[in-house]
Amino acid sequence: MEAASFFLAFLRGKRYSVQQEIAPKKKNMQQITILIHCADQKGIIAAVTDFILRVEGNITYIDQHVDREQDVFFMRLECELTNKNSNVTAIKNVFEQSIAADFDMKWEIHTMEQKPKMALFVFNILLSILIISEF
């Protein structure tokens, strides 16, 4: 990807990688997204990424943040399940009984077919500010 394309993608808030440009999309792989939040504590990232390895997943995106004021850990992880016989329901059950229970997590696992619904409230606030500032 040339620098200008990367910069434009960055400004638009899109995630791009060199791998996306040169590697064809692997077919027949289930893709899941894991959303997590819990009290910040040692070992969360290691436990979750090790879990993905054990279920034969390949992490394609991971992002985490700690709200220091509230001491809350947030994570978003996207991965491809490389074993085409992977059972997402079974993965959810094992995750709940092991990782989620160990860290007292609030969590969701979505397949790409079940993308979570999202609302963008920031746009409405910015629009309101722009309208008010014009008067």
What are the residue ranges spanned by the domains of the chain?
A: 26-133
Rounded distance between C-alpha atoms, residue 76 and residue 4, angstroms: 27
CA dihedral 38, 40, 45, 50 (to 10 degrees): -60
pLDDT at 52: 96
pLDDT tens per residue, range 94-125:
999 999 999 999 999 999 876 555 444 555 55
pLDDT at 108: 94
pLDDT tens per residue, range 5-61:
555 555 555 555 544 444 445 566 899 999 999 999 999 999 999 999 999 999 999
Q: Quickly tell me which residue has 């960055």 as its tokens.
A: 10
Per-residue confidence at 78, pLDDT binned at 50, 70, 90? very high
CATH 3.30.360.10 fits 26-133, yes or no: no
